[in-house]
Structure 1
C-alpha cells in the first residue's frame, strides 16, 4: 500500500479522504499517487521503490539495478510540487575483463562499464587478429568479438639462417626458444674447441 502524505487536495477529493488535526491545523491525508508526482520514472535493467516518509510532502524513490549492471546517477530522487529533483539514474551493463593470451588492454580493470571502449595490445612479436578496439555493449558482451594475439610470421625470411632477424622470422615462440638453445649450445661447443687448440 502506498504511504499516505500530507498535501493540499482538490475540493472534490476532500470528501474521499479523512481529515487530521496536527498542531491545531486541519490537514488532509492522501496516498502518494495523488500527491506530488503521480508517475515514478522507470529504468531499464533495474527497479524502484517508494521510500517516502509516512508524513511527508515529498515523494522519495530509490532505485537499484539488476545483477550484472551498475547504477550511474543518484540512487534516490525526490519529488516536490510535481517536480523531480533530478532525472532517474541509469543501469549500465558491466563487462568482465577479457582474457587475452599474449596481450593486454589499454585500460586495466576487473570490470568495465558500458559503453567503455578499450584497445587490445599484443606482446612483442604478436599481431592482433580481429578488431583492435572493442566496446562494452548494453548486454554486457564485448563488441565486436574479442580479438586474439597471434605470432606473426615475417614473409621473405626463408633464407635467414643466423643473426637477430632469425628470431623475428621464426613461425612461433617455441621455435625461437629452440633456436636460442641451439645457438647457446653452438657457442659452448665453439668455446670447447677453441680451448683445446
Structure 2
C-alpha cells in the first residue's frame, strides 16, 4: 500500500466519524420528532457508547405541558410518548356568582358550574368548559337581580330597602322613588291648575 493511500484512509475514517457525530436524526436513526400543537421542541445531542438524540418540548405562552418534556431516540422510535400542550383559561369573573371550583387558572377541558347568589337569577349556561382557544365555552352566563312581585309596586322607601340587596341598588332606587314623588306632585299641581282654569272660565 502506497504512502498516499495510507494517509487517505485515516482522513476518510475521521470524516466518517464527524458525519456520524453531526448526522441529523432523520438520516441516522429516528424520523423527525412528533409535532405538538401549541408547542415546539429543541434538539440536543449526547454522546454515549452510541449516538442518542434527545429533544425537549416547550409550550407556547398560555399553554402548559402535560406529559414527559424530554423524548429520546432509541431503536428508531421516540420514547416516551410525545407530550401535549394544554390551554389555560383564566378564572371566570361573574358578578354575584359562586364557582364550583375556584382556581387562578383552569386546564383545558375543565368544567365549572356557576351558582348565582340569593336574589339573583342565572341567565345563560350553568356549566362552562375551558376550550383549546383558552376561552370558556359556551359564553359565560350572567347573574341578574330578580325583582319579586312585592317589589314591583313599592311605594315607600322603607320597603325598597327590604327588597334590595346591594347598597348601590338601594341608593339608585331611593333616587328613582324621590323622582317619582316629584313627578306625582307635578301631575297633581297640573291637574289642580287645569281644574281651576276650567272653573274660572265658566
TM-score normalised per structure 2:
0.64
After superposition, where does 1:1-197 map in structure 2 within 5 Å?
Answer: 18-19=16-17, 29=21, 31-33=23-25, 34-55=27-48, 56-155=50-149, 158=152, 170=163, 173-174=166-167
Shift in Å, 1:53: 1.0
Query: Where does the alignment leave 5 or more consecutive residues of structure 1 unmatched?
Result: 1-13, 21-27, 179-197
SS class of match (2:80): coil
SS class of match (2:45): coil
Q: What is the aligned residue count?
A: 154
Whether the 8 Å contact between 1:151 and 1:173 is mirrored in structure 2 is: no
What is the aligned-residue RMSD (CA, Å)? Answer: 3.2
Q: Identify the structure with the greater strand proportion.
A: 1
Shift in Å, 1:35: 2.3
Looking at structure 2, the residues matched to 127 and 41 of structure 1 have their Cα atoms a distance apart, in angstroms, of 48
SS class of match (1:58): strand
Looking at structure 1, the residues matched to 22 and 168 of structure 2 have their Cα atoms a distance apart, in angstroms, of 80
Looking at structure 2, the residues matched to 39 and 132 of structure 1 have their Cα atoms a distance apart, in angstroms, of 44
SS class of match (1:18): helix
Whether the 8 Å contact between 1:70 and 1:92 is mirrored in structure 2 is: yes
User: Could you say which residue in structure 1 is the equivalent of 2:199?
Assistant: none
Looking at structure 2, the residues matched to 154 and 111 of structure 1 have their Cα atoms a distance apart, in angstroms, of 36
Q: Identify the structure with the greater helix proportion.
A: 2
The structure with the larger Rg is 2
Whether the 8 Å contact between 2:21 and 2:51 is mirrored in structure 1 is: no
TM-score normalised per structure 1:
0.66
What per-residue deviation string (whole Å, max 9, x for no partner) do you get for residues 160-182 of structure 1? 99xxxx79x9366459868xxxx
Query: Where does the alignment leave 5 or more consecutive residues of structure 2 unmatched?
Result: 1-11, 172-202
User: Could you say which residue in structure 2 is the equivalent of 1:195?
Assistant: none
